[in-house]
Amino acid sequence: MKLRRLDYSQFEDKPGEWKTGECTFGDINLIVGRNATGKTKTLNVIRALAQLFSEVDELQWGEGNYKVEFEDDDKLVSYALEYTERKVVNEQLIIDGKPLLSRGPNGTGEIHLEQLKKGIEFQTSVHRVAAFAKRDSIQHPFLDRLYQWGQGLIRFNFGTLLGRNEIEIQQQPDQDGDLNLADCIGF
């Protein structure tokens, strides 16, 4: 499963508003831009989505609005999640035009039951993402694909300090065998 499109926003029409705009992805991607333009934040948003699908029991960020599309073999997987004050307001999963998961602000919704080939009602905590909370390999195998994508996402940070926040001091011990760090760094 491959992430093909991401549209994310948070704190819309409020101070601190931030949006990715519509980001599209290919098989191999390189995110390039000037400093402070949102490269790292975009990667953080993608990683947070992966965590919501695979390891986070409750919402960690206060607010967010995801609209994403995945390609899964020859299927189009559309997922939308909107939450505010760490409460899910809307969550939708549609695969090839077929709604498989839909829920509103009170935690109630409908999810497709694979064995019965129909939707059933459910309720879960408003603080939990149903795509993770309702994962069941027999009844909802379509959620396993999101889980596997989330588990398989690996992020490597290349813009690190690369040792600039460390110091190495080499000094010979004095005649008593003691090291005096004050002598090494000029105090």
pLDDT at 94: 98
Q: How far apart are CA 70 and CA 49, in angstroms?
A: 12
Confidence of residue 187 (pLDDT cuts 50, 70, 90): very low
pLDDT tens track for 63-119: 999 999 999 999 999 999 999 999 999 999 999 999 999 999 999 999 999 989 999
With a pLDDT cut of 70, the percent of the chain lying above it is 83
Q: What is the pLDDT averaged over residues 21-45?
A: 89
What is the CATH architecture assignment of 2-152? 3-Layer(aba) Sandwich (3.40)
> Which pLDDT value is given to residue 186?
46
Mean pLDDT for the chain? 87
Strand partners, 164: none
User: CA 108 → CA 122, 124, 125, 143, 181, distances in Å?
Assistant: 6, 7, 9, 17, 62
The answer to whether 91 and 133 have CB atoms below 8 angstroms apart is no
140 in helix, strand or coil? Answer: strand
Share of the chain above pLDDT 90, in %: 60
Give residue-wise pLDDT tens across range 153-164.
Answer: 987 776 666 556
Q: How far apart are CA 154 and CA 106, in angstroms?
A: 33
Burial class (CB in 10 A: 0-12, 13-18, 19+), 67: middle
Average pLDDT over residues 124-149: 94
Res 55 pLDDT > 80: yes
- Report which of residues 61 and 123 the model is more confident about: 123
CA distance 36 to 104: 35
3-state secondary structure of 148: helix
User: Which residue's structure tokens are 């549209």?
Assistant: 7
| Residue with more model confidence, 78 or 179 | 78
What local confidence, expressed as pLDDT, does residue 5 receive? 97
pLDDT at position 46 over 80: yes
pLDDT at 125: 93
Q: How far apart are the first and last CA of the chain?
A: 57
